[in-house]
Structure 1
């Protein structure tokens, strides 16, 4: 399966931290992580502002509709990715799909140690988004 370039972003002491999701998937495979069911109630990001966090990035009906398309297209057979502390690194659309369908759990891979970010201190708009 080909995945579009995308990043998991977090604020850090040296600026924005960014993980290339494609690299995270490769690392999880290399580690042989096995999927397991995680309660959606444990995904704390489901109760937090996750999308529309940048100034001027408003949840307009058009923007929500775009996310709904991504939720509908999400393939929940692919596990979400969690860091060592259980924080979501990839898979919010899959979580939302499972939640909206009335499910209580989602398949997940959890890193035993959180991988180092691929980029630090680079603005999200300046990350490489070109297809390989």
Structure 2
């Protein structure tokens, strides 16, 4: 699977934490994580502000339409990624697609130990996005 550079971001007292999603996928494969069904109601991020959390990143109709395109194109054959506590690290569009289709579960991989972030304290727009 060829995936564009993207990051899972979380604020922290140490500064912004960023995980390279491509590295997370490779790590999950290297660890031999096995996919399993996870109930959508166990994914807390489905009920939290997620895509529109940065200043200036407003949920305008145009921005929502862009996410709708990504939800429609999402391939739910690929499992989402969860950290050791069950927090979403990759796959919100896939989870939303399953939810919008009336499903109760989504295919997921869960790390036994949450990987260390690839970047700490670097602004999201300063992360490397070129291939």
Shorter-chain TM-score: what band? over 0.9
Q: Let me know the Cα RMSD of the aligned residues.
A: 0.4
Match of 2:49 in 1: 49
Report how far residue 13 of structure 1 moved: 1.7
Q: Distance in 2 between matches of 1:75 and 1:90?
A: 13
Residues 54-103 of structure 1: CA distance to partner in whole angstroms, max 9, x if unpaired? 11111111000000000000000000000000000000000000000000
> Which is worse superposed, 83-92 or 49-58?
49-58
Unpaired runs of 5+ residues, structure 2, are none
Give the TM-score of the pair, scaled to structure 2.
0.99
Report how far residue 12 of structure 1 moved: 1.4
- The alignment covers a number of residue pairs equal to 131
2:100 aligned with 1:106: no
Residues 32-75 of structure 1: CA distance to partner in whole angstroms, max 9, x if unpaired? 00000000000000000001111111111100000000000000
Question: SS of the counterpart of 1:34?
Answer: coil
Q: Distance in 2 between matches of 1:112 and 1:57?
A: 33
Unpaired runs of 5+ residues, structure 1, are none
Give the TM-score of the pair, scaled to structure 1.
0.98
Q: Distance in 2 between matches of 1:127 and 1:64?
A: 24
1:50-129 to structure 2, matched below 5 A, reads: 50-129=50-129
Structure 1 runs (4+) greater than 4 angstroms displaced: none
Match of 2:31 in 1: 31
Question: SS of the counterpart of 2:106?
Answer: strand
